Structure 1
Amino acid sequence: MAVAHKGSISMGLVLIPINLHRATLDKDIHFNQLEKESKARIKYKKYCSHCGKEVGPQDIIKGYEYEKGKYVIMTEDDLEKIKTKRDKTIHIIQFCKISEVNLIYFEKDYYAIAEAGAEKAYELLRQTLLKEKKVAIAKTVMGQNEKLLVLYPTKEGIIVKTLFYYDEIAEIPKKIPKLKLDENEMQMAKMLVENMTKVFHPEEFRDEYQARLREAIMRKIQGKEVVTADSDETSNNVIDLMEALQRSVKLSKQNSESETA
């Protein structure tokens, strides 16, 4: 797997050289855009808005529009000059409980892999975090952005999670009203939760829509028509909340019993 970012974790005076590898895979089916009549690929060209000439990567530089139509040029050398030594490390700022970090701040995950010779310091950090049940809050510059990070210990290694900043989180568009709930409805809801509670095993889940999409594509390749997917979902047109809860509890109990049978 390609290295997404190279750096070092700095914890006080301890420096741990690491490489970051993406922790997720894109397994979605991606479609190409085609011209309706010829079925040929639609391609996009980069061209100069002044002379209309097509340009390649070697002809493109970075510019910031500070006034309408006026740009200041920033070279790669300029961007490197403003990075401090601290920016080039994943410097730990503090430690905290993972429960103190709201899940809405999580952006991307990376595997932190220690470079040769840094394994002992890496393992010291990982085991200490596990024992203390803490995570590390850190910062580093990736590309042209300073990233806020969480260093999360696991039994296998350390996961680096990039975080959104506080001012990047949008406000809730509408406040949820705090309504008084009926005790019987609460009890039924509690029963539903209890009936549907079991240990989470991520390997049991897969993208079922993508599987149906792959099957539909294969049918089209073979010259067959796409078959309408059957739905075994129960009717959801129950208006009364209590009735919906009762039916849900009954269904969840039946499912639970069939799984244990």
Structure 2
Amino acid sequence: MPRSIWKGAIEFGLVNIPVSLTAAEVKPDVQLHMVDSKNHARIRYERVNADSGEEVPWDRMVRGYEYEEGQFILLSDQDLEAVQPKLTKTIGISDFVDLNDIDPLLFDKPYYLEPEKRGRKAYVLLREALRKTGKAGISRVVIRTREYLSAMFVREDALVLMLLRFPQEIRAVSKLDLPSSEEADVGKREMDLALRLIHDMAAKWDPKDYHDEYRDALMTFIEKKIETGETVEDVKQSDAGEKEPARGKVVDLADYLERSLGKKPATTPSKTAKAKPAAKKAAKKAAKKTARKKAKSA
């Protein structure tokens, strides 16, 4: 059973439901460490003063806010404690909103809410009421001395408490350099092909169909290395061996969509005409090279 990280109660109106909070997120990441290839020792990072270059001991380290370049206001632990939210053990729901109205970009970290023994009936009552209405309870909760905005909603038979990002934490789309529909000048044929491609690739969403393929491949590779006893040697690559990255080609959107649908686009005469002289030139060059080799051997 997963261990709860917080115990308290859900409160709205006069209702009080004792619950425990459990992380709903599991991150089975492959832990990689930085090591010295010479003797495979772990690399240690030091706390160094940027001006003097000397190592700074823990008892001299304080937090600071840079209000101008190179100018800091120092904050002690007492200063930070003075502005911390009051520690509470309640999830006080202030509003019920339509779950579909919450922008998915605001979703940050999910937790499960599990009822304590004396709150099981009230837990079911709230869960089913949220399920029937499609609502989410908006609340504030303090976890490990920090206050979070959160949304409470139903997933299967569990109440989920989703910590939310504040709107100011999301960059505005207006800050991006995005093309307009008029600028792109997408034609009807291209749009019809795109719609058909999406229709042909449409599937019912099932999260069980997807998994972390990179992690699986990496672990298989690591386990193979462990079995063979192979280690990484200190191999230095010369800059001369680096290849210039290939430049992207401009393709016709309609042709690209037709290829995706399994059709072969018609080859334009201009491309075919250019290809023939290039092929002839390459053949002549190869013939001359072969003749020079024969002359040398003679």
- TM-score normalised to structure 2 length: 0.68
Distance 1:163 1:249 in 2: 40
Question: CA distance change for structure 1 residues 69 and 131 in 2, over 3 Å: closer, same or farther?
Answer: closer
**Alignment of structure 1 residues 82-231 onto 2, 5 Å:** 83=86, 87-172=88-173, 173-180=175-182, 181-221=186-226, 222-223=228-229
Q: 1:176-222 deviations in whole A, cap 9, x for unaligned? A: 22224312211111111111111111111111111111122123221
Corresponding residue for 1:29?
A: 30
Q: Output the amino acid matched with 2:86.
A: K
Give the SS at the match of 1:209: helix
2:77 counterpart residue number? 73
Count residues in correspondence.
235
Greater Rg, structure 1 or structure 2?
2
Structure 2 CA distance, aligned partners of 1:128 and 1:210? 40
SS across alignment from 2:150? strand
Unaligned runs of 5+ in 1: 227-235, 252-261
Aligned to 2:20: 19
Partner of 1:241: 253
What is the CA distance between 1:78 and its match in structure 2? Answer: 5.6
After TM superposition, the score normalised by the length of structure 1 is 0.77
> Normalized per residue, which structure has more helix?
2
Deviates more, 1:204-213 or 1:173-182: 173-182
Match of 2:204, as an amino acid? Answer: V
In structure 1, distance between residues paired with 2:47 and 2:140: 35
The gaps in structure 2 that reach 5 residues or longer are 233-247, 264-298
State the distance in 1 between where 2:49 and 2:82 align.
24
1:113-165 Cα deviation digits (max 9, x unpaired): 11111111111110001011111111112223221111111222111111000
Identity %: 28
